[in-house]
Amino acid sequence: MANTTSSTLSTRIGGRGQGEGGRRVKQRSMAVVLMIAALACAPNAAFAQRRVNFPPAEAPPPPALKAPPKTEASGEDTGVIPDFGPSQRKTQTRTPPPPTNLTVMYKLQYGETLEYVHTDGTVQKFEQWKSFPNDGYYLMSQTNTRLADGNNYQYATKPLASDGFDPVDIPLLFMAGDYDFKFSDAEVTNLRKYIADGGTILFNAARGREEFSKAVVREMRRVFPQKRFMRSPPDHPLFNARYRINQLMTLVNGVQFQQPPEIYTLDVGTRAAAILAPIGMGAAWSGETYHPQGRHLVGESAYRLGTNIVSYVLGSTEYGRFLAQEFPVYNGRTASGDIFKFASVSYTGSWDVNPAIQNSVLQGLKKNTEIDVDYSPNAVPLDDPRLGEYPLLFMTGHYDFQFTKEEAKGLRDYVERGGLLVATAAAGLKPFDVAFQREIKKVLPDAELLKLPPTHPLFTSGWNPIERVEFTPSALRDDPSLEHAEFYGVFVDGRLAVLYSPYDLMSGVNKESNAYAKGIATDDAVRVVTNIITYALSH
């Protein structure tokens, strides 16, 4: 057939002219004919479907509870809430659902159509994004049952490459899978904007395959090149938002056992903006068979962790919107008469989790004491020779870190020459607490962190004597007896040189609306930080 086609096309094109011009036409025509013939005879790799070695979740998958309509070329949102009753497209004008019905999650359509060859030779084709087709439905159903907060949370499906991801309306995106994938440029752009605007995405390796998790880590580097996934510590609110989770029942290669929860997050501020659950929850949520070569959370463990994740995201929406703001930055020069300069310690770690914190601290200081301030932002590494220009250094973070030898020496010289380091654990998370107590020993090996009593002059004298302070609900949930500011000090020659609190101070000063921060509440946080500054300036 290819020869017949070549002959016919050659005759039609070649008969148009004679001589050199005709020969050139014939040569070009033959080249085109040969290319067409090759395409007709050989398989086209450009259109071949990717074949995978791991079977799909279901063979063949049963129909979804409610099949979404086909995606339209116009890019309209064709997401359908998979629930009982008539469906409604957002682009259609109809009576809105009752106010208690809230679509809070999109399960993302992504990837390609894959194929798998079964042992009997049967070729199964399936859409990569579906994984367990009904896992999103059951996640929302379990969330409604377990939270029972008066809302009926629902989900829809939507292509990641389409427009219109607004975290104000849809605070959570859900992406599940078993196989390698690659984001398109449009998907990278959409995801970056969505997260920067305050949204959260949950990735779940449906049956615990590392192939999917590694692809998540790789592709998220394209979304945020400067950020990395970190393992969530045991005291992270993801493990406490609804249920206190210490151990999860896990099934690996057919062996069942309990282990601590394993979640990785990519953070904006202290908010988990991208959540990677590398152990599969889809089978448990959907009531499907656990694959013998997979890694699964079993039954109640998967339900509880899923409910915690959704609860955490719903509780973080205000904080996400706060972080999405455009914060003013002072760009002017230092004016004559400026007295107090704010400086944050920059180090390899999460040192900048409180955006524009210097503005909040200095505004509170100026308003309450009328001390002249310099609003210019200053981030100073500990090995910077300019360190001595600042009477106080503020340091925070929420993950593990280590001082370099140069940083440890710079900080040692600073405090021994009269400076004061004020450090607090962002969101009150334990990894920073452990790391700071370890690292300060490297700086001052003979020093000891001593708990300051409520009668210490830091609290009883200065601008505004402080007897008791109000703590955030998250802190009181762990320790209902909290009523005094909890600070520890390192003294050098009888002078307070290091002031440290394992509780959050800066989120309150910054009015961040972080529901999961364990620390001093806003009004008292401003009082405490103002007292710290006035105490330091007067000593």
Q: Which CATH architecture has domain 50-62+76-323?
A: 3-Layer(aba) Sandwich (3.40)
Mean pLDDT computed over 436-454: 94
Average pLDDT over residues 80-94: 43
Q: What average pLDDT does range 211-215 have in this prediction?
A: 98
Q: Are 282 and 298 in contact (CB under 8 A)?
A: no
**Confidence class for position 331, pLDDT limits 50, 70, 90:** low
Task: Name 36's Cβ contacts closer than 8 Å, sequence gap at least 6.
Answer: 5, 6, 9
Q: Each residue of 44-65: pLDDT tens digit?
A: 444 468 999 999 987 554 444 4
Decide whether 50-62+76-323 matches 340-538 in CATH topology: yes
pLDDT at 202: 98
> How much is the average pLDDT of 179-187?
96
Specify the range with the lowest mean pLDDT, choosing from 1-15, 356-370, 406-420, 517-531: 1-15
Position 537 confidence tier, pLDDT thresholds 50, 70, 90: confident
Q: pLDDT at residue 415 above 90?
A: yes
Residue of 105, 146, 507 whose CA lies nearest to 307: 146
Please determine, for residue 409, whether its predicted confidence score (pLDDT) is greater than 50. Answer: yes
- Residue 337 is predicted with a pLDDT of 62
Q: State pLDDT tens for residues 121-144.
A: 999 999 999 989 899 999 999 999
195-202 average pLDDT score:
97
> What separation in angstroms does the CA of 200 have from each of 111, 177, 186?
20, 18, 18
pLDDT score at 98: 54
Q: Which CATH class is domain 340-538?
A: alpha beta
Q: Count the neighbouring beta carbons within 10 Å of the beta carbon of residue 226.
A: 5
Other C-beta atoms closer than 10 Å to the C-beta of 90 total 15
Question: What is the pLDDT, as a whole number, of residue 373?
Answer: 87
Mean pLDDT of the chain: 85
Q: What is the pLDDT of residue 112?
A: 94
pLDDT digits (tens, 9 = 90+) for 289-321: 999 999 999 999 999 999 999 999 999 999 999
Cis peptide before 60 (omega within 30 of 0): yes
Q: Which two tokens stand for residue 395?
A: 């340091």
0.75 exceeded by pTM: yes
What is the model's pLDDT at position 101?
Answer: 86
Lowest mean pLDDT of 56-65, 395-404, 457-466, name the range. 56-65
Q: Is the pLDDT at 468 greater than 60, yes or no?
A: yes
pLDDT band at residue 374 using 50, 70 and 90 as cut-offs: confident
The vertex-303 CA angle with 301 and 304, nearest 5°, equals 65
What are the extents of the domains in the chain? 2-46, 50-62+76-323, 340-538
- Confidence check: pLDDT of 76 > 50: no
Q: How confident is the model at residue 28, as a pLDDT?
A: 45
Confidence of residue 340 (pLDDT cuts 50, 70, 90): confident
Rounded to the nearest angstrom, the gap between the alpha carbon of residue 103 and the centroid of all alpha carbons in its chain is: 20
pLDDT exceeds cutoff 70 at 37: no
Name which of 235, 308, 238, 305 is nearest 271 in CA terms: 238
Q: Is the pLDDT of residue 324 over 50?
A: yes
Average pLDDT over residues 387-398: 93
pLDDT at 2: 42
Name the one residue in this structure whose structure tokens are 């001390």: 371
Which of 206-210, 217-221, 339-343, 410-414 shows the lowest mean pLDDT across its residues?
Answer: 339-343
Average pLDDT over residues 197-223: 98
Contact in structure between 247 and 205 (CB atoms under 8 Å): no
Classify 261 as helix, strand or coil. Answer: coil
Q: Which residue has the higher pLDDT, 152 or 8?
A: 152
Give the pLDDT confidence score for residue 51 in this predicted structure: 93
Q: Cα 95–101–104 angle (5° rounding)?
A: 115
User: Would you say residue 472 has pLDDT above 50?
Assistant: yes
Q: What is the pLDDT of residue 141?
A: 94
Question: What is the edge-to-edge ordering of all strands in the sheet holding 50-51?
Answer: 50-51, 113-117, 123-127
Give the least confident one: 96-105, 155-164, 496-505.
96-105
